[in-house]
Structure 1
């Protein structure tokens, strides 16, 4: 089955040298576009067997509560069945987004990820995010 086309608001690049799927959101997006983008991302990750994702969200707003709920209840549970091991998501955000209370409330606390087949962390520097991904199994 061919891979779905990548929407214009997203770029996907598999970096085999790092074993990282680099995802860059190109503009502000709606919740429906967020969902579409993540579903396309999952197809590409499965095709490459890649469980280390660098998600650059500096050009879009942080996920709102509706988007966060969809991620937690619908999207993230799909990762283990498709990728068969724990998936690591490094979110690259603009510093101002890390100080946004609504955005912060939408992102689960670190304790949420304990025992889950996925782990997410937020970063403001790309190099730091890549180093974190490289430290994961």
Structure 2
């Protein structure tokens, strides 16, 4: 497995696993990053993730498809209860792509459906993301 291209840190004070990407990476590298995130999450029993993708500009369709249809459901199953909560921190440019791209809108809507075994939300600011992730904010 490739070493992660992102930093992964568990914040016990917040009960959140934080992954921050400093730049874009190839699809295979990002898959390895997510697998490393899952290993760390299992080790810390962390069901709350902050994924900081503000510095990643590429919105690869294959990554969006893989995370929402394969990886996030598999991670949720591996972690068990409570449900996995994923706050994705995105740049304004990335948020604009999510709004403008039919594929990205459809994929995001799929990932945010209440029937998914995980909860996924996008945020433009870290404060809002952390507020949504804090224990007791399961609404």
Q: RMSD of the TM alignment (CA)?
A: 2.2
| 2:95 equivalent to 1:95 | no
TM-score normalized by the length of structure 1: 0.86
Contact 1:25 1:57 in 2 (8 A): yes
- Specify the SS of the correspondent of 1:14: strand
Contact 1:14 1:21 in 2 (8 A): yes
- Specify the SS of the correspondent of 2:8: strand
Contact 2:85 2:133 in 1 (8 A): yes
Q: Which residue of 1 aligns with 2:32?
A: 36
- Specify the SS of the correspondent of 1:99: helix
| 2:50 equivalent to 1:48 | no
5 Å-filtered alignment, 1:1-137, equals: 6-7=3-4, 9-85=5-81, 86-100=83-97, 101-102=100-101, 104-105=104-105, 107-109=107-109, 112-134=112-134, 135-136=137-138
Contact 1:54 1:89 in 2 (8 A): yes
Moved over 4 A (4+): none
Give the unaligned 5+ runs of structure 1.
Answer: none
